[in-house]
Amino acid sequence: MAIHERSLVEPERILRKERLVIDGVDVSGDWNLIILPRVINDYDLDFAKDVMNSPDGKTITQCYQCSYCTASCPVHNYWDERYNPRHFIYLARLGMIDELQKRADVMWRCVSCHKCTHRCPKGVLVEEVLKAILRAMAKKGLVEEYPSKKFDKFFTESVLEYGRIEDGELLFGWIEKQGYRVFKDPILKKPIPFIGETPEWLKQLTVKPLKSMNIGFLVLNAKHMLFHPRTKNWSKFKQVLRKVMQEEGALH
């Protein structure tokens, strides 16, 4: 199916003349918009096979390009119109790796709201398919490790260690991994919130809800920051879980 979105057509391929006459008919105005054709010879159909062969990429074959996913995507509508799930799937199925690589800087921006998957009339697991596409690109060395991938690994390691996450530790630990200087207590080496180079946007985001929390809840969170709660009998279970994830390639 052809791509019709104006935003997906390179500006240099779009022509508009002030006055255009074709076979004696004046087609000036909106009708004189011309999109120059292009011929692409560099594509890799094996790339689509790599995506289809991964467990979460199989539904890519069910996509018929209706664009419900893109129309409901908050990233596309409110952040960056270059984030276009339907278009990424279209390019992957055609093996147009160069075109995917041009969009590698936005492809990781999925916020996991799952609107795309819920609205897809063909049952495509859109978010999973996009991750499969990114993994296939990473295997070929076409994309660097993107921030959301790094966060997934950080989150997974926290769950594997404790069986559950602690929000404050996860948040400030992630800030530290982003290169900010975070102070830690000298004994347990846990990050101390808001001491150090805490980004201003984070202060604004968290201070307001903190003011409305009761003292007991704040003390409980502070306690969990220092002594991370563990799931009961987790030490035995985590070994089994880690082994299974490694065997399935979900943990590297």
Residue 197's pLDDT band, with cuts at 50, 70 and 90, is confident
What is residue 88's predicted lDDT score, i.e. its pLDDT? 95
Residue whose structure tokens are 């997974």:
156
- Six-digit token string for 215: 């003292």
* pLDDT winner (highest mean) among 65-74, 185-194, 195-204, 205-214: 65-74
Q: Measured in whole angstroms, how far is the alpha carbon of residue 238 from the centre of its chain?
A: 27
Closest to 40 in 3D by CA, of 112, 90, 108, 80: 90
SS (H, E, C) 192-208: EEEEECCCHHHHHHHHH
What is residue 2's predicted lDDT score, i.e. its pLDDT? 57
Average pLDDT over residues 63-92: 93
pLDDT tens digit string along 95-117? 999 989 988 888 888 888 999 99
For residue 12, which phi and psi values (nearest 5 degrees)? -70, -15
Residue whose structure tokens are 């997906």:
8
Q: Does residue 35 register a pLDDT over 90?
A: no
Residue 4's pLDDT band, with cuts at 50, 70 and 90, is low
Q: Does residue 5 register a pLDDT over 80?
A: no
To the nearest whole number, what is the mean pLDDT of the chain?
Answer: 85
Q: Does residue 1 register a pLDDT over 60?
A: no
Sign for the CA dihedral angle at 112, 114, 115, 120 comes to positive
Q: Of 63-67, 80-84, 86-90, 226-230, which range is least confident?
A: 226-230
pLDDT tens digit string along 22-31? 888 888 877 7
What is residue 92's predicted lDDT score, i.e. its pLDDT? 95
For residues 190-212, one letter each, b for 16 or more C-beta atoms within 10 angstroms of the residue's C-beta and e for the rest, the string is bbebeeeebeeeeeeeeeeeeee
